[in-house]
Amino acid sequence: MKGSAEALRFTHSYMFRYRYRILIAQALLLVSRLLGIAIPLIVRELIDFGILHNDPRLLLGSAALVLLVGACSAGLLYLGKHIRYEVSGRAVSDLRHDLLGHVLSLGQGEADEASGGHALTRLTSDSAGLRGVINGGFGEIVNQALMAVVLLVVCLVLDVRITLIALIPMIVAAVLSMRIQFRLVRVFMEIRGHFSALLSGVVESLANAPVIKAFGREAHSEEKLGGINEVMAQRRREMRMRHGAYSSVTSFINALPMPVTLWFGARAVSGGQISIGTLVALFALVMMLQMSVHMITMDANGVLHGMVNGDRLLRLMNAPPALLAGGEGRQAPPLTGRLSAEGIRAEIGGRAVLDGVDLRVEPGEFVTITGPTGGGKSVLLQILARLSDPAAGKVRYDDIDAADLDPQSLRQQVLCLPQRQWIFRGTVGDNIAFVRPDASQSEIGAAAAQAGIGHLPLDRELSGGAADLSAGERQRVGLARALLVSPVILLLDNPTANLDGETEARFIDTLLELRSTRTLIVATQQPALARHADRVVTLVDGRISGPEATGLIAAMSTGRTAND
């Protein structure tokens, strides 16, 4: 119950950002509906006095009044819904903005639901559910409840006995409908989970299509996705069939107030207890009361669905970001390139990836980090670049705690290139200038030449995913981006992993040209690259091992490097 309340609070918080506009919309919609109650009462007077007494002036006046009230009601209804729709659009946009920003801030393995199709469903269908919360939800329940109370009072004034008899099936239908919705909410949650899994599988299959084809696993992928789709379709059919059966029962009960009103009302007219106009007005008002009760149950259903979507969104938003230090920090001063790490510990999925890592790198030094796959090299690079914060320990630049510096200002001086470079649809120049959109063509061209891709025309169009670039060219596009920023500390994650021998040698030559201008830290398993380094650090089981570890500890205690 506490979780459901928190989910509702979370989703409604986006609506409350526009609370004054929502209150105006609520008032307009309520007045519009209350004006609608006046129409049956006017018709009552029209029948009892205008038609039966053949008074043309009363007939004309009543018709004009009905037209005026109807026009005012329609106008207010339009304005109220227009404001609501505008607010719901803004709220969904705000929610998606916050979701996207938080997804981008998450660390590796922090939230399974933030990856692939899971994140896509949160940003699309789940967040779109906020529109239903705003356009319906508690606000609409309050309006319909007020409307129902006013209608009930007016009906009781017209005739107590008929109103109470007609009210019985309405209450029974509302209770049954609410029980149905509570029972189906679990099925709805399950279906949402299957939909996320299906979308995630589709995204992964499209992204890894070459691998699937290479190993001849198309049938396996189709079978896996088909199984998820079949389970989801089956659960949807079950929910619809169950909902259809329940709806048939409640619809039959909901239909009872009309014949009940007509039967007892006709008897009351025959007995002279009420007039024909009163019967007509009472029949219309009971229909309106029935619709209000029905809408309350429908809006309650929207609230339940909002709880499901809100819970899924909240799980994503509660996932801890990669940078855990509070505050934005101060602007990073000009750095010399000195970097140190003390007692670094990191965990992924409850497993210690790094455990007490100490490292010190001097300005202009070229250090390679080697070790077996899964030894923590990539995680260490991310922590050294402050793309994520460690569970314990500190990273310092020029003896300044990295947690005290603004991450965005740090990106201009400390940059980490991932193993796989992201290439988007556009020109070569656009891809390089992604990191600095204000860069001139000459600056972009100089960065491309320094990265070894000066032969590629900057206006050459690239396809999404860079299928028309070689692995070496993709790596050099990423390097050109880094050189356009010109960081003081450049970290590269296994940059030559997918390169052939000749391309690897040329890429290493390019890196060696950079060693005198900045601090280089490269994670690699390639001996050809490691032998050019000033120092080699080996990571095994999350710890620095071998003579390097002993030398580092001694150097850090005396303020000197292991090479000293």
3-state SS, 70-103, equals HHHHHHHHHHHHHHHHHHHHHHHHHHHHHHHHHH
Segment 148-201, tens digit of pLDDT: 999 999 999 988 998 898 888 888 888 887 777 777 767 777 777 777 777 777
Smallest Cα–Cα separation from 495: which of 389, 305, 328, 368?
A: 368
To the nearest whole percent, how much of the chain has pLDDT over 70?
87
The 3-state DSSP class for residue 517 equals: coil
pLDDT of residue 242: 74
pLDDT of residue 550: 37
pLDDT of residue 463: 73
- Split at pLDDT 50, 70, 90, the class of 551 is very low
- Split at pLDDT 50, 70, 90, the class of 88 is confident
Q: What integer best gives the mean pLDDT of the chain? A: 80
- Split at pLDDT 50, 70, 90, the class of 353 is confident
Residue 134 and residue 8 in contact, taking contact as beta carbons nearer than 8 Å: no
* 1.20.1560.10, 3.10.20.30, 1.10.3720.10, 3.20.20.120: CATH of 2-185+242-317: 1.20.1560.10
- Split at pLDDT 50, 70, 90, the class of 328 is low
Q: Tokens in use for 173?
A: 């239908």
**Which of 297-306, 344-353, 461-470, 489-498 is least confident?**
461-470
Residue 493 and residue 418 in contact, taking contact as beta carbons nearer than 8 Å: yes
Beta bridge partners of 106: 321
Strand order in the sheet with 489-493: 414-417, 489-493, 519-523, 366-370, 535-540, 543-544
pTM higher than 0.75, yes or no? no
Question: Around Cβ 386, how many Cβ atoms within 10 Å?
Answer: 23
- Tell me the CA end-to-end span of the chain in Å, nearest whole number: 62
Q: Tokens in use for 287?
A: 């229909």
pLDDT of residue 27: 92
- Split at pLDDT 50, 70, 90, the class of 115 is low
pLDDT of residue 466: 58
- Domain 339-558: give its CATH superfamily: P-loop containing nucleotide triphosphate hydrolases (3.40.50.300)
The 3-state DSSP class for residue 394 equals: strand
Residue with tokens 């007939």: 59
Buried b (16+ CB within 10 A) or exposed e, 401-429: ebbebebeebbbbbbbbbbebebeeebbb
- Split at pLDDT 50, 70, 90, the class of 484 is confident
Q: Tell me how far apart the alpha carbons of residues 3 and 8 are, in angstroms, rounded to a whole number.
A: 9
What DSSP assignment string belongs to 309-349? HHHHHHHHHTSPBS----S--BPPPPP-S-EEEEEEEEEET
Q: Tell me how far apart the alpha carbons of residues 483 and 25 are, in angstroms, rounded to a whole number.
A: 54
pLDDT higher than 70, residue 147: yes
- Helices 218-255 and 160-207, interaxial angle, to 10°? 170
pLDDT of residue 149: 92
pLDDT of residue 222: 75
**Which of 63-67, 398-402, 545-549 is least confident?**
545-549
pLDDT higher than 90, residue 28: yes
Question: Around Cβ 507, how many Cβ atoms within 10 Å?
Answer: 22
CA dist list (Å): 277 to 38, 45, 237, 265, 560? 14, 7, 47, 11, 100
Residue 170 and residue 293 in contact, taking contact as beta carbons nearer than 8 Å: yes
Q: Which amino acid is at 52?
A: L
Residues 6+ apart with CB under 8 A from 122: 99, 103, 113, 114, 312, 313, 316
DSSP secondary structure letter of residue 123:
I
Smallest Cα–Cα separation from 148: which of 36, 311, 63?
A: 36
Smallest Cα–Cα separation from 280: which of 269, 289, 294?
A: 269
Residue 332 and residue 397 in contact, taking contact as beta carbons nearer than 8 Å: yes
- Split at pLDDT 50, 70, 90, the class of 210 is low
* Greater model confidence, 222 or 154: 154
Q: Tokens in use for 51?
A: 């038609």
pLDDT of residue 114: 58
Q: Mean pLDDT over residues 260-270, rounded?
A: 86
Helix, strand, coil percentages (3-state) for the chain, rounded to 5, are 65, 10, 25
pLDDT of residue 464: 63
Q: Tell me how far apart the alpha carbons of residues 95 and 105 are, in angstroms, rounded to a whole number.
A: 15
Q: Strands 519-523 and 366-370, how do they pair? A: parallel
Q: Tell me how far apart the alpha carbons of residues 393 and 356 are, in angstroms, rounded to a whole number.
A: 8
The 3-state DSSP class for residue 183 equals: helix
Q: Where are the domains of the chain?
A: 2-185+242-317, 339-558
Q: Mean pLDDT over residues 332-349, rounded?
A: 88
Residues 6+ apart with CB under 8 A from 345: 352, 354, 355, 356, 357, 390, 391, 392, 393
Segment 533-548, tens digit of pLDDT: 888 988 888 888 754 5
pLDDT higher than 90, residue 496: no
Strand positions, DSSP E, 273-423:
339-348, 351-361, 366-370, 392-397, 400-401, 414-417
Q: Tokens in use for 535?
A: 């120092």
pLDDT higher than 90, residue 50: no
Q: Mean pLDDT over residues 139-156, rounded?
A: 90
